[in-house]
Structure 1
Amino acid sequence: MVNSKRLVDTFIELVQIDSETGHEGKFQAYLKERFQALGLEVIEDNSMTETGFGANNLLCRLPATTDADAMFFSCHMDTVTPGVGIKPQIKDDIIYSDGSTILGADDKAGIAAMIETIQLIAENNTPHGTLEFVISIGEESGLIGIKAFDMSLLEADYGFVLDTGGPVGSITIGTSTKARLEIVIDGIAAHAGVEPEKGVSALAIAVSAMSQMKLGRIDSETTANIGTIEGGTATNVVMEQVRLVAEVRSIQMESYEKQIQHMKDLFEKATTEMGGAITINVEKSYSGFHFDAETKVVKIATEAMENLGMEAKHEISGGGSDANVLNEHGKETTNLSIGYEKIHTIHEYIPIRELEKAAALAYEIIKQVATK
């Protein structure tokens, strides 16, 4: 029942409105107007005061027409860079950018599916409980928007994030917990050409620790990475300070905590042995979640896929999404794949057929819940 031309036209329109992380204002204004025109109540929170970003989160609500569960769908409005001046192109029923930017299907394919679903409901007088559509800012910068969202605004207790890559049919039943580590190592500055032996290189301390450190794929459920290293003032000065930012992710809390301790121990040991000083701050970015086949949202999505002739795949993800934060706040949420590929690159694309399936799935979920 999906109107393919309308859906594609909507998607093409969405991706041509710039909304890189932190600069979502123009796109947010468009979305407010679009959802209001579709007959939804649009609520704008006050998250800008906390995030400092260019827009607030949106909650768009469609009142119930029958006695069915309230539920929500969630997407994010921001994109990664380079996302300014996107020029979408269609070739062989696949939508690409022109190769100079990302496409922005992450996550504007999800928003396009939302809009098409609302239009299908109106056209077919489809009965439904209260439907809420959460559209967050700043997802690509560490789930900043949804963390600042006022969860008390949500009437629904469960829902679905439309923000996973790959062919439609994947249901996320588990994700990792993620930690951010900031390590600041202080050495001793000295003239590198005149008296280097009087100095202690902060970088040398860091390298000594990292040479013994387990990084990358630790086991089937755990990863660790040092993403940035900053330090130094000049080539003729022994580096006095270095700052490193790292992450640890794991499905299992025991492995998560073990890897963090492993990294801390090595940094501290090398610093002590080489005569420096160190500060390590560990912050949990988000908590993981774990479902099974009988969890409500998993069961609903699985049955909807089966109704559409799709094969449901229950998958564990090493990544995070707004679903992690929603679950932390007691809103049972899974993440559904919506068809995009090669996200965060200029080679990003989405087959039109997958975009159609994403909209069809959201609509089928609503119909199914209303008939329970």
Structure 2
Amino acid sequence: MKKQTRNWFTGLIASSLLILTACGGGGGQPAAKQTKDPIKVGAVFSLTGPNSPLGVPEKQAVEMMLKKINDGGGVNGRPLEIVFEDDKSDNTEAVKAVKKLISKDKVIAVLGSSGSGPSLGMAEVASSEKITMISMAAANQITDPVRAGIYKTPHTDIHGTKRIYNYLKEKGITKIGILYDSNPYGSGWAEQLKKFAPEYGITIVADEKYGTKDTSMSTQLTKIKSTDAKAIIVAGTNPGPSTIVKEAKQLGISIPIISSHGSANSKFLELAGDSANGVLLVAGKLLVPELVEANDPQAPVIKEFVKSYSAAYNNAPDGFAGYAYDGLNLLVEGLKLSGGDPAKLGQALENVKYVGVTGEFKFSSSDHNGLTEDSMIMVEVRNGKFQIVK
């Protein structure tokens, strides 16, 4: 009787081990997959170099959102994986990065880059490889003309130009000087400022540019001071604009200085110091989250983003972080609409309607930016803080 019981018990153990092994739970074998394969996406940001004040918060916003997405079950039941690359604020490096992401990492879409020059180079590659790309850069040329699968989240230089010109028209200012970075971002702004000036009754009496790495713009400012310009529009990203406002003060220039959204962040206040007081900027509403009206559709979105980002990084987010946050959310919406099919993703995004921290996006077959100048505001620096200009 004992022998029979022992044989029965031995057989039970053997059967159990076979079942466990078949399930991947024994014999030292790896467990069977409990989740579907991840959706792999690339992200190219300027984590070093002149554009790093843009790229670092962008990466942080994406990492924060990535965790939230995966903690919530991923996208279409699949985890989202993001491969990050640093373009070092260099156009060539950006192109190398996106080629690597496509050929080696086999990503199905790309976020980035932070700057207009790198983004334009990346867009050429992404377009030829039929890979969906969402840029965090402002140049209008990124999405105009429209190319299949190429999108962007920031307001364009056209939006900023029109918003500033409306303000100047309200103030009765008709003669201006422009001072812009010679890179694609600044040059794009200069193009739009010149193009739309006649429409708003504005004459550009001084047209000056500077190099991204220049440490002084006093020569250009002196030339503008010698004209009858009644305002100066500056187009560039930090540190250029902060240097300009400091030198303008030293030169005794008292006419209004209006800066593009490329410098509308806390870094500008830090670099410009007291010289920033009185400077006007065109910006998105995220720059002043506590001042956004409660009935604004963006208000709850901005509030939640600021709360989450501040808790994660112990620092308030700027517009650049918002561009990346919106970019990833838009991509997720596209992935949901396309069922995760890379071949359908680019076109699916054309049907996305999304209220973000940057604005209310309404993509279409003829508009791959989806924003208008109405979602931009004018702000003035007062006592070291941004305040909305009514």
TM-score, reference length from structure 1 = 0.29
Larger radius of gyration: 2
More helix by share: 2
More strand by share: 1
